[in-house]
Amino acid sequence: MTMAVRNTNMSDAKAIPTIATKAVVLPFVPPKSQTGARIRQMAINIATAVVPPLITVALILIVWQILCARPGATLPAPSVVWAEANDLIVSPFFNFGSQDIGLGWRVLVSLQRVLVGFGLAAVVGIMLGTLVGQSVWAMRGLDPVFQVLRTVPPLAWLPIALAAFRDSQPSAIFVIFITSIWPVIINTAVGIRNIPQDYRNVALVLRLNAFEYFAKIMVPAAAPYIFTGLRIGIGLSWLAIVAAEMLTGGVGIGFFIWDAWNSSRLPDIVVALIYIGVVGFMLDRLVSLIGRLATRGVAVN
Amino acid sequence: MNRPYLKIDQVSKVFNRGSMSTEVLKDISLDIERGEFVSIIGHSGCGKSTLLNIIAGLTPATIGGILLEDREVNSPGPDRAVVFQNHSLLPWLTVYDNVRLAVDKVFGRQKSRAERHAWTMHNLDLVQMGHAADKRPSEVSGGMKQRVGIARALAMEPKVLLLDEPFGALDALTRAHLQDSVMQIHATLGNTVIMITHDVDEAVLLSDRIVMMTNGPSARVGEVLTVPLARPRKRLELVTNATYTKSRESVLKFLYERHQFVEAA
Ligand SMILES: Nc1ncnc2c1ncn2[C@@H]1O[C@H](COP(=O)(O)OP(=O)(O)OP(=O)(O)O)[C@@H](O)[C@H]1O
Ligand SMILES: [Mg+2]
């Protein structure tokens, strides 16, 4: 399973011993300069996290500029993007009427769809995953079906959804739902199946009823797995929404790209791609942060 | 005619795995009195945990059964609290909440909120863990976790306390401390205790009787040794005590002469 994505906290943890050794070496410094040292340490930490990616971005921009500034280049250079689309970059939330709005608004519309679709997928996925993880017969019956369905590409569901709902909004939400539910189901099921026999025995000795067992043992014990599934799921939904919106229209960020392509506004597309990447990254971090807060202490035992 | 408090009545256990079936326990019978401290000792894999799980109701016996106060035991319950070998605290709950979960479940109806809080703290104090109530299991040492496991079991006010190698994973010093705690608790509360152990000294020090099991498969009760040492027992004074030395010797003889462990575990 994809468990490797959790808990990459090593660099944060390393900062602490450094402070401690400093305090030992200088036993008579007043507390003020200790906080000074701590601030300096924090600044160093931030710098080591921020500077290397900044350099990478700068290099990419330079290479891109060189490649696309030549005569006959098919794609816009960064300078062109800035010149033609800086309104999109600097003010994400302008609003001049129905299709002339900032990318921030469009992202929010897309996020809203993702939230509904992914929220449903999370709830249903955790319930189905619990069922599959808990009952051998449910696993035998459902698991093969899930394994087949999860390989269907998101957009292949769209015509079916359009036919069923006869409206683009619920269809887009359905595509999100059906895309992101599989990793939630599968990871939840693995998490439930991996609950140590000891915890089950504790529940048996205490005579916990089914509801108490679900809330007090199952969910917390499987939480690291569940959050891994949710994290993969939110990534997939963000991938799917852009594609779905290209086909269904509306005001989402996906449709904006399609619209820009049809009217040959390549710089706008470049800006939209950056928006999508940054928002997808933030979604991923958000879910992983919630997961880390919610599973404190479970992973380390 | 005096009926025994806990009766293990001709228990046999056969595990079926596919077409293979192995008889792990054969015809185990034992009567245990109220307040007695009984140790079960035997080589690894002979079926001690299986026997304890049958008493706890976690595993059904194939033949025979368990009677507690003349009533048959066939499902697990808080009247037979288990302290598991690897503490099995819930890592997402604090030390306090681990014990409180048991207290709430067992005394949810009888005791008020404040009483349940007091009872939780009382049991943590009993194992000297009151100071770490708000820590998580991952933040306390192995010995401390085991103490909390014992507190959780005691908090259920079990009729019988079942300990499955409770100190197996601990260093000698921590082990000695915990043995003293358990002896003290047993002296104060008078619990009926069944403890599995690998450690001959531990068995002799703590027990009223030591049940020695033969090697599996089809393990039986080989011998039952009564340890006629007066309580309270002091570990240092016992080192030179003749009864202690003799008891120790007979357990060692049983384990290493008559029932030498043949296959490598
Ligand atoms: N669920 C099971 N299915 C099949 N065989 C089992 C099962 N549980 C235990 N056994 C077998 O029963 C035998 C006794 O196991 P048990 O765990 O009771 O031994 P033990 O005396 O507690 O050993 P140890 O001292 O190492 O803890 C072992 O040979 C084991 O392989
Ligand atoms: Mg065992």
Interval A19-55: pLDDT, tens: 444 444 444 545 556 788 899 999 999 999 999 999 9
- B225 bridge partner residues: B210
pLDDT at residue A2 in the model:
41
Cβ–ligand 1 distance for B261 under 6 Å, the answer: no
What is the C-alpha separation between B210 and B195, in angstroms, rounded? 9
Residue B99 lies in a domain: yes
State yes or no: pLDDT of B258 exceeds 80.
no
- Name the DSSP class of B219: B
pLDDT at residue A69 in the model:
86
What is the C-alpha separation between A257 and A269, in angstroms, rounded? 5
State yes or no: pLDDT of A142 exceeds 50.
yes
pLDDT at residue B41 in the model:
94
State yes or no: pLDDT of A257 exceeds 70.
yes
State yes or no: pLDDT of B262 exceeds 70.
no
Residue B43 lies in a domain: no
Cβ–ligand 1 distance for B48 under 6 Å, the answer: yes
**A195, A205, A208, A296, best to mutate vs chain B, most B CBs in 10 Å:** A205
Chains A, B: CB pairs < 8 Å: 61
Contacts 24+ apart (CB under 8 A), A191-194: A191/A129, A191/A133, A191/A221, A191/A222, A191/A223, A191/A224, A191/A225, A191/A226, A192/A129, A192/A130, A192/A132, A192/A133, A192/A134, A192/A218, A192/A222, A193/A133, A194/A222, A194/A225
Q: Which ligand 1 atom sits closest to the C-alpha of B22?
A: 5
Residue type, B49: S
In this prediction, residues B155-170 reach a mean pLDDT of 89
Residue located nearest, by CA, to atom 26 of ligand 1: B44
Which residue from A199, A223, A301 is facing B138, i.e. has the nearest CB? Answer: A301
Q: Could you tell me the two tokens for A43? A: 């600044």
At A120, the pLDDT band (50, 70, 90 cuts) reads very high
Cβ–ligand 1 distance for B46 under 6 Å, the answer: yes
What is the domain count for chain A?
Answer: 1
The CATH number of residue A170's host domain is: 1.10.3720.10
Residue A111 lies in a domain: yes
Residue B149 lies in a domain: yes
Residue A31 lies in a domain: no
Residue A130 lies in a domain: yes
Q: pLDDT tens digit string along B99-129? A: 999 999 999 999 999 999 999 999 999 888 9
In this prediction, residues A236-243 reach a mean pLDDT of 90
- Residue A87 forms contact with B (CB below 8 Å): no
Q: Could you tell me the two tokens for B188? A: 């104060």
Residue B139 lies in a domain: yes
Residue A43 lies in a domain: no
In this prediction, residues B189-195 reach a mean pLDDT of 92
pLDDT at residue B51 in the model:
94
At B155, the pLDDT band (50, 70, 90 cuts) reads very high
Residue A125 lies in a domain: yes
Mutate to test the pocket of ligand 1, among B11, B15, B52, B211 (most ligand atoms within 8 A of CB): B15
Angle between helices A219-248 and A253-262 (to 10 degrees): 30
In this prediction, residues A172-191 reach a mean pLDDT of 94
Q: Which residues of B touch A216 (CB under 8 A)?
A: 90, 101
Give the number of other Cβ atoms within 10 Å of residue B155's Cβ.
25
Q: Do A206 and B102 touch (CB under 8 A)?
A: yes
Residue B58 lies in a domain: no
pLDDT at residue A91 in the model:
78
What percent of chain B is predicted at pLDDT more than 70?
97
Q: Which residues of B touch A198 (CB under 8 A)?
A: 84, 86, 88
Residue B144 lies in a domain: yes
Q: Is A82 helix (H, G, I), strand (E, B) or coil?
A: helix
Q: Is B209 helix (H, G, I), strand (E, B) or coil?
A: strand
Q: With contact defined as beta carbons under 8 Å apart, do B181 and B170 qualify?
A: no
What is the C-alpha separation between A176 and A195, in angstroms, rounded? 29
What percent of chain A is predicted at pLDDT more than 90?
54
Instruction: Indicate the pTM of the whole model.
Output: 0.77
Q: Do B106 and A206 touch (CB under 8 A)?
A: yes
Q: With contact defined as beta carbons under 8 Å apart, do B40 and B194 qualify?
A: yes
Residue B63 lies in a domain: no
Tell me the residue range of the domain where B121 lies: 89-157
What is the domain count for chain B?
Answer: 1
Which residue from B77, B101, B138 is facing A216, i.e. has the nearest CB? Answer: B101
- Residue B77 forms contact with A (CB below 8 Å): yes
Tell me the residue range of the domain where A185 lies: 83-300
Residue B101 lies in a domain: yes
Distance in Å, CA A56 to ligand 2 centroid:
56
